[in-house]
Amino acid sequence: MQPQIAPAFNIRRRRRIAAALGVALAFAVTGPAAPAAAQTPAIKVPAATQAVPGFWDPRRHPERPDLSRITLIRFLTETDYPPFNYTGPDGNPAGFNVDFARMICEEIKVSCTIQMRRFEMLADAVATNRGDAVIASIAATPAIRTHLDFTDPYYRVPARFVALRETAAAEIKPETVEGKKIGAVTGSAHEAYLKAMFTDAEIVGYANDEALRAGLRSKDVDLIFGDGIALALWLNGTDSASCCAFAGGPFTESRYFGEGVGIGVRKGNDLLRQAINWAMFRLWEKGRYTELWLRYFSINPF
């Protein structure tokens, strides 16, 4: 039996997201797959205008493990989760996760391969030694941790409010949205969070993300609340028609929105896990992680 794995945001959007992204995806798919530094043209966004979060504590610098014991890292990813991982125009793996994997290998100074497999096969492939590490935006849930060990998170999926551009407020608190209509996908963690924390607002349920966004554009609700990364890509794409903007800041409560996305390795492979943790910290410390993030997210989900 294949272990059940979950992506960082709803898998049902995978094949529809490229059309919705429009401009947002255009910069990520032009040109051939190349080393991380050259694969996607940098978007000209001043760093000061983007609050790129640090997912690493500068006070907890990981110790450098014995990297001489690592001669090759076989990364696995999947084909249909843009802009994180997808098949590039030349048939090779491409995307944020792929570029980050290449940067990790450069930092460790080790050769690496990146192979694509079906999403549901990834965890089993690593567990049975057909790969060393899986980097495919897998949410590190308790269920998947029984099959894989995970590195430190290299990104989280925040929840965000979105409003029509002319009504977007800088701060959203329960008392500031009393009596307002807030949309969320029915049965989602976002709806559950609203019902627990925003008790004086009227929560309106929608069947899916497309209906949710249409409800905001038609002014049936004052705000919508959902996956910050998916919403950032929508806001930056042609489908939104520049209608809307983020309101308030990110919500990252792990009980509702998960512990973050890490890189999965075979159970007990502590050397590789520690080496990747060390390399990720170094890339963040040098500013290379921030450069990569801004290259893919011109509207920052944080």
Residue 53 confidence class, pLDDT cut points 50, 70, 90: low
CATH number at residue 276: 3.40.190.10
Q: Which pair of tokens denotes residue 64?
A: 């450098």
CA distances from 105 to 30, 155, 255, 278 (A): 23, 18, 32, 11
Are 193 and 235 in a shared domain? yes
Total structural domains within the chain: 2
User: Distance between CA 153 and CA 22 in Å, rounded?
Assistant: 28
Residue 165 lies in a domain: yes
Are 237 and 200 in a shared domain? yes
The partner residues of 114 in beta bridges, in order of sequence, read: 75
Are 105 and 86 in a shared domain? yes
Are 27 and 106 in a shared domain? yes
Determine the pLDDT at residue 197: 97
In the sheet that 72-77 helps form, which strands lie side by side, from edge to edge? 111-116, 72-77, 133-134, 264-266, 148-150
Are 29 and 152 in a shared domain? yes
Are 164 and 232 in a shared domain? yes
Q: What is the pTM of this model?
A: 0.78
Residue 185 lies in a domain: yes
Residues 242-285 pLDDT 10s: 999 999 989 999 899 988 899 999 999 999 999 999 999 999 99
Residue 145 has pLDDT above 80, yes or no: yes
Are 116 and 134 in a shared domain? yes
Q: What percent of the chain has pLDDT over 70?
A: 82
Are 64 and 208 in a shared domain? no
Residue 4 lies in a domain: no
Are 63 and 129 in a shared domain? yes
Residue 151 has pLDDT above 60, yes or no: yes
Are 36 and 134 in a shared domain? yes
Could you tell me the residue range of the domain that residue 221 belongs to? 159-257
